[in-house]
Amino acid sequence: MTVSEQRASTSVPPKSVPPRRTEKDTMGPLEVPEGTYFGASTQRAVLNFPISGERFNRRFIWALGTIKQAAAVVNAELGIVDSAKARAIATAAEEVARGDLDDQFVLDVFQTGSGTSTNMNANEVIGNRATEILGGAFGSRLIHPNDDVNQGQSSNDVIPTAIHLAALAEIQERLDPALAHLQQALEQKAEEFWPIIKTGRTHLQDATPVRLGQEFKGYAGQVERSRRRLGWACEDMEEVALGGNAVGTGINMHPDFPRLTCERITEWTGVRIRETENHFQAQSTIDGVVFASGAVRTTAVSLLKIANDIRWMGSGPRAGIGEIDLPAVQPGSSIMPGKVNPVIAEALTQVCAMAIGNDQGVVIAGQSGNFELNVMMPVAARNLLQALQYLAAATRNFADQLVVNLKATDRGPAMVEQGLMLVTALAPAVGYDQAAAIAKEAFATGKTVRELARERTSLTADELDRILDPRAMVQPGQSFASAGG
């Protein structure tokens, strides 16, 4: 048998072409896979954007479906869409919101800057599914994707509204609860660690003593303030673009439609949204999204600081700082037996890095509001929602697998007496210059500040015990001498 014959005998037979049906849009007919709910507009976008394979996430599709469902109900109430059609649209849109039709949202997130392709993906899926509910054939347009499903709407106001709704839900239902959980864990550790006094550090150098609990109180305060900032962002994002239609004028829309739709969404979801008072800013910019992303970035920066401090304090266990024991959750090395690494903290720091980078993408997207429309809404949505989702998961994981299981060692308290910056308490009694000289000599000789103060000053042992008491040094406003410095 020749090589050619061998190849022919082992070749894989060609795959059969899946059945297709013909749908049409304003550009004409186009074949789409049989059995799918999307139509020609979506299929064109599939062909136009073979970029990343990444789709809009579940939260965004939920928001889009929820908007379409509320719009159908309100359009029926206003007498704009036939009630039977509206009921079928609302049922199909609810299925979209619930996730039953997620496999029909096939478009790349990197697409037309207004998100029109995904809005039409939703309109076609809901239209064909509603048609099916009413007993019609796919592609018959018994329920029209534009005239019925998209009634009173435009991609230009629906997509930014969906971004706001999705981000609000993600913050309120996932990220804020995760942060609250971490805040509570840090507050409990602050209380547990309050009796432990250790050496403080500034510029990575020894500083005056501090309670380990005071450090953790600081971490809890960072998280609490991050939650507060996210709350301000949520207040800002409650204002949505729905009702502006194409360019903010509300053309081809009942004037009560946006208010009633927002009220219905708020009632159903518990996520409060309201029609903007200025549609021209709401569609030509995504300033609210940029502001929210900035709050997320600030949260990531805070979490990065907390995670890094904790892993540094747990460094060692012998050649590092070693003031706290981090829980051992997995082997740390493929070559060094017994090594354990701070992997939970490292996972959080990586998510923080991603969120900070995502924010820069949102900032650039925010600069692309050209005249009456921003044209980078999909990437802004993708970056913000991804950051929210990952930060929520990593924050809760950090609290549960690391913070709650932290233990203090005796290393911190043991080093306090060796600390050079105990001279700060000595300075009011002997003066800054003599205190500095004692610190330098202590460093050079290995003696303690207490030992040298006993040799170099006239202070008694009792006075030194009072002045160099670490417990007194961690009290705000404590003074150890009456003389001015």
Between helices 287-313 and 377-401, what is the axis angle to 10°? 30
Q: Give the closest residue to 377 by CA, choosing from 172, 174, 155.
A: 155
Given a contact cutoff of 8 angstroms between Cβ atoms, the answer to whether 187 and 220 are in contact is yes
Please, which residues have CB within 8 angstroms of residue 433's CB and are 6 or more apart in sequence? none
Beta bridge partners of 206: 201
Residues designated catalytic: 203, 333
| Residue 289, number of CB atoms within 10 A of its CB | 25
Residues 397, 344: contact at Cβ < 8 Å? yes
Contacts of 223 (CB under 8 A, 6+ apart): 179, 182, 183, 186, 302, 303, 306
Residue pointed to by tokens 């044209």: 375
For helices 155-170 and 58-77, angle between their N-to-C axes, nearest 10 degrees: 120
Q: Are 66 and 165 in contact, with CB atoms under 8 Å apart?
A: yes
Other CB atoms within a 10 A radius of the CB of residue 25 amount to: 17
